[in-house]
Copies of this chain bind each other. A is one copy, B any other.
Amino acid sequence: MTPVAKRKMERRKTFNDYIAKKQLKSTKQRDTIFNEFFNNYMGKHVTVEELYEGIKQNHPSIGFATVYRTLKLFKESGIASERNFGDGKARYEPIRSETEHHHHMICTECGQIMEFANMQIESCLLQVAKLNEFDVLNHKLEIYGKCSNCSD
């Protein structure tokens, strides 16, 4: 089994476990949204509206509210992250592995989003928090500017 396929199963299990733990129900809609999101938006940062429009193509009966609620569920269960890049719309992205962690550079010109990770920044940050006796739950680092295409 490829690592991608393995991760796919893990994610499914995590979600199913969450559903079970919270005494929620498995539904066709949740399945559909799960598949659409994790098959078509890997490495993307999609808004609720965008995902809804995408799903509507093949599943016209699924409502916006259900997509909205299901993405929230993905977030709560730890298989997706919510992001906010300052345009007033929440974005969601699949979490690629249990341990991965990254930040973003957002081109203010063309909207392109680039990802990066940096161990040194992460450890500096934890050190700062420790120094201030601050118990870190999560953090975000965003760089805004122009990508190489747009800064010519």
Q: Point out residues on A near B: beta carbons under 8 Å.
A: 84, 86, 105, 107-108, 114, 116, 118, 120-121, 124-125, 128-129, 132-148, 151
Contact = CB atoms under 8 A, between A and B. Distances in A.
A135 B139 contact: no
Q: How many copies does the complex hold?
A: 2
Contact of A124 (B107, B118, B144): B118
Among A135, A136, A147, the one with the most B-chain Cβ atoms within 10 Å of its Cβ is A135
A133 B148 contact: yes
A137 B132 contact: no
A134 B148 CA distance: 6
B132 A138 contact: no
B124 A105 contact: no
